[in-house]
Each structure stands twice: as C-alpha cells, then as structure tokens.
Chains A and B, each alone.
Chain A
Amino acid sequence: MTRKQRNFYIFPTKNNKFKHQSLDIGREAEITVKLKNNTLILDVTDLKILEALQEDSRQTYMAIGKHLGIAHSTVYDRIKRMEQNGIIKKYTALIDAEKAGTKSITAIMTIYTDPKESERVAEKLCNAPGILEVYTSLSEELLIMAKVVAENQESLHTFIANSVAPLPGVLRIRTSILTKKFKETQFSIVNNPKKLTFIKETHNIKGEK
C-alpha cells in the first residue's frame, strides 16, 4: 500500500449501540467515518466545519467557507446534512451562571447500586429536575455518577434524601459539593483520527443519543 488509509466503520450492535469495527491506516487527508446501512459519510471537511462551529456556532457560512477555503454553499449543504443526521444536535449558548446572578451549588453524587436495578436508577435520575449529567461506571462495585445542581446545601440534601435515596436499588450515596472550577470545555473536534472515536459514542444512525 503506497498511501495510508484510515477508515472508521461504525455499525449498530444487538443492543443498538455502536461499536468500532475496524481501523485501517489511511490517507491523512481523507479521514472517513462511515455508517453502515446509512448514507452518512463524514470527511475531513465535515470535521473542520464541526470544529469551526464548536469554536463559534454563530459565524456565517461565508465566514466558515472563507476560513476553510471552500464555497459557502458547500458549508451550508454539509451543515444541513449533519443536522438532518443528528450529528449536529442543536445550537445553544454557554452561560456563566455566576455572572448571570444565579446562586446555586453543583455536586457530584456517586451512587452505589444493586446491579439489577442500576439501569432503572439511572433512568429515574435522568428525569429528575436538577440532574445535569448521569453516567454509569465500572469499578469494583457498579456505580452511577450524577452531576446535580441545587439552590443551596439544604435543597441538595432534601433532594437526595427524598428523591434519590428512596429509589429501589440504591445502596448508599457519596456526594461531593464542587467548590471551584478550574476548567470546563466541550469535547472539540480536531483533525485527529484518535479523537474520532467520540462519534461512535455520541450518536447512532438515527441521531439518537
């Protein structure tokens, strides 16, 4: 093989999640993400457009096209296609809650659960107001990690005592109140094939999370 090729094939598994099937050495300039049984193919131009949007989603198609050296109509077409396929989920604003005058505290809950009930606990948490993020974690015990925001320590305690501890399958809870933020950033798409793996984790072919 005279030139390198990198290809990522992503396909749905039995449980409708995606799995990385193969990784070949590919051309540096043509990093391709393919979704089996679907027409969506992301190439390096798409990734650069996504990167530009993550920098500033309010910039015009013209500005992105000029920056990337492509026609604004191309930028438009590709963005629309990625929107339709759920790659671009929405455009939103990052708000500094402190500057906006919102007084709140943020905490991380580590919830130890009965393995048989952990999925249900996680789903219930997802529907609870004030819960920002929910994850499961593999360690010696099955854990659910959840980020929660509350007005103050009292309301945080009331929420956990009344809405989390009583959930069937919750064995115990450890909560850490966050005191100082040193860094917060979104996952950035860059022209680096190692970072492409995020795609298999963040959407499926229907664009569902």
Chain B
Amino acid sequence: MRKIRFIALLSATALATGIIVSIPVAANAAPACDGKSPIQSCIGVTSDGAPYSMMVPANFGGTVALYSHGYRYNIDIPVGIPLIGGYKVTNTPEPVPGGNMAVAQYLFSQGVAVVGSGFARQGWNADSAIKTNVELIGLFKAAFPKTTKVVAWGSSLGGFITQALAEKYPTLISAAAPMCMADNVAAELTMAGDFLWGLKVLFDPSIKGTNYSAGAAGNAEAVTDIVKIFTVMGKLQASLATNAWPDTSSATGKALAAGGVPPRSALLLLGLMSGIPTQSAHFDSISGPVGPLKLTFPLALSPALAILENGTTAAILAVLATQDVEQQAGGQTFDNTKTDYASRIENERVIFNAALSGNTVIDALLGALSPANPGAPRAVGNSVAVSALSALASNTGKINVPTILMTGLADPITPAGSSQRVVDAYAAQFASEKLAAFAAYKSSKSYVAPVKKLLMLWNTTPGKGYTTFTDAGSPITSTPAATGTNHCNFSSAQLVLVAKTLIAASMNGKVPTNGAIVTAARKAGNLVIDPLLRAPLLKYYNQ
C-alpha cells in the first residue's frame, strides 16, 4: 500500500517537474540531481548501499525533513498468501510517509525539502538505518549548503529509528516526530512472540514460531508458519459460531475443549496476556446488534473478535520479525521460561471476565499455559542470541530535541504503550529539569523555567463505538478501519499537523502547549492532547 502511494507521489512529481532521469550513482558519491524546478529531485546511494531520494523545492528555506520508513519484511512472500502475498523485498526510498502527496505538498509549500532512504537492509534494521540517516544528513547538507535545520520523523520502526537518532545525535537534528513508534526490539518481539507461542501451544503445535533455520530454509519455514496462522485464525473465526476448537489443536487445547472452555475465551486470553488491544479496525468491544445479542456481543464476543483481527497481524509480525532478528542474533531470542502470564492479566481478567467466561475458565487456561504443564512447553532462548538482541539499537525515551509523538490508541503492531514509555521517561526528565532550574535559582536568583519538549498526540478510537452490523445482526468488516485502530492509520490531515508542528518546533526550540494546538489537533480529526491519558505499557515491562 505504501509502495503504491509512493509510486503515485513520484508520478505526480514527475508530472510537475518532468520525468526523473535514472542516473547511476556510485555509493557515497554526491547525489545526482535533475536540477528541475519547482521541485528538484536527487537520488543516490549511501556508503552502505542504501538508496535515497531528496526533493528540494525551489523556495527551499533551509529546513529539510528526514523521513524513516517503517518495518519492511526482509523476505519475499509468495503470491497467494492473504494480505501480504506477492511482497518483494524492496529498498525503494521513502522521503515522506507512505508517499503521501498532501504531506509532500504541504512541506514543499513551506519551503521544506524532504529526504528519505530505503535503507540498506530491511527487517529490524535500526542500527544500519541510524548510520544511513547520519550519513544522509551529511550528504544533504553538502549538496544544499543553505541547510540550517534538519527535522527527523518516521513511522513504526521508522519512529523508533527517529527517536534513537534524536537520542544519539541531538546536534544533527532540531526536532523529531516519531509516529506510531515501535518499542525496543525485545519488548516488541515479546508481545508478538507471546501471542504466537500461545497460538502454537493451544491451537496448532506444528507452528514453528521460533528457532528458524538459517537462509532459504528459514524463509520457507516462516512462510509455512504464516500459512498456518491464517489457517488457524480462520478456524478460530468459524469457532465463534460453533464453539469448536480447531482440529489442529494441541492435546492441551483438546483437554480445554473437553472441559468446556470456549475457544474464543482462549483466544482472548492470549491477546490480553500479550498486550494486544481489544479494539480493532472493526470491533470496538462496545457495540452490539439489535436483538438478543445487543449485550452479549460487546460483552462476550467483540473482544475476542478484536483479538482475532489484531492478532493476525501481530502473529505475522511475530513470525517475520522473529525470523529476521534470529538471523541477526544467531539463534532463538524469544524466551518465556520466566514469564508469569497470570500476573500479566490480573486487571484484565476482571474487566473482560464475561468474555473470558469466568474465573473457572480463566484459571483453567492459565493452568494450561503454566510452566507446570508439559503439554505447553515454554520457549527457551539461546543465551548468546539473547545477548546479541539486547545489543541492538535501543532508546531510553530521553528527549533531547523538541519531539512530537503521535500514535493510535489501538494500534495492534506498535501499541500505544510504546509511546507511553517515552511520555513517562520525559515526565521524569522534566521533573529533574525543574528541580535543576530551581537549584540554579537558589544561587543565581534568576529562575529560568525549562521548556516543554514533548507533545503527545493520541489518535483515539471513536468513543461512541464503531462496529456496524447488517440487518441480520452480523458485524460488517468491509468498512474502513476506525480511527485509532490498525497500524499507523493516520489521515493526511493528521500527518500534516505533525509536519507543521515539527517545523514550528524546530524553529522555536519547544513544542506548543497552548490551546491553539489542542484545537488544531481536534480539527485534524480525533487527535487528543491529554497529559493524564495513560496507555498501558507493553507487557514486557511488567513481567
């Protein structure tokens, strides 16, 4: 989808500026520019082989926006696999989010240039991407000496890369905007891995899930797992009507089935213990159809359907990202030998008690997933690989430059808790800065208040509910995903607001805190600025 939009952007730009001529460029050489107006396009390759694209408006005022794209799978996906089939690994540069024309046009109208790389490798590539970005900043400045400010932004893993860049190289950039930001790799893969492990031990023990082989064999294993995930999720969807467990269920799963445990409750518990949101693109856990299911649907069914919708993408990520990271780390990284899933859902088991079918069922499920059950063997990580994983690029949430975060409250891939972690870290940082300012006042008698450097924009789900139903009472899933749901599901207006705020913050050295930004956020659609809103952290941090 992103690639398609990006191609559309290039086409539109080509219409305005003439056909972009493909110029072979040597790695790390100066970019090859077409010299056109009103938008000059440049391409090149960094020293690590990452292709990049620069677009510079004729009214370039000295500010360039460096965009980091999100996670791209690092293996080709065969045609025929739902949702992602036919994907080919690509390092096409992406200088604006998803090639969004409205965003590009806004930036150009402000005299802001855009630049972005496709990065040298795909998969979990934060380390190499940060290096690429540092080099790219230098290349741009060399090519356009008028450059005075670099602002960095990115989505998903690109958001993570952006935050890490701002933490490590604060002198290179003036402001940052990590959007739908991924968490540190261990936290992200723990969420995805917990869910995938649960699917495996209850519903299909033939799913490999971890410890993929090296090279092409590992790729094939991953693809096979994806097919199995789609299959088992399809069976779980069907089970909502029949209450029958998938025929691929493990002995543990079959024992639970015999004990009367509904598979929808098992699926929901897996989602809750992993931290997957209970609102999805089409299921709000609020609405019910007219008729006898008016109450039962939101209370007992909708949360499981939301996990079904969200969990499918989470499980696919689990397979592909786990396989990629294992290749980098040299072995299995997922390890849940010490995970206490019962403590993870202490609160959720009360809130979703009806959908989980009561304490007796919950306890049966937790018992089945406990280390005491040999039928649900825990995943044991390779200690060397786990160490290698922890050595991959990470961020602490330290805010060095004015930063704008934006995320969906029900993002299933990069849960809102990823941003909450940064918000929490900054709260502590700001409190320290205030204390330091007060201490300075004691000696100088001149109080200089620290400036606010973090703005959090929450993309909320519609509060009144959004699940729609046919006249027969079936939920409709063909409508566009609700705001605040799905991964990085932002409107052009929301992205433009971030761009606008980002540019302003780079000029002012601080983020806006007045009513104007609250109004602008509301007008951009569904964005809320609420310092007291608190998204749950990823479960990794609570284990």
Asked if A pairs with B, the answer is no
Q: Hey, which bits of chain A sit against chain B, CB under 8 A?
A: none
Q: Hey, which bits of chain B sit against chain A, CB under 8 A?
A: none
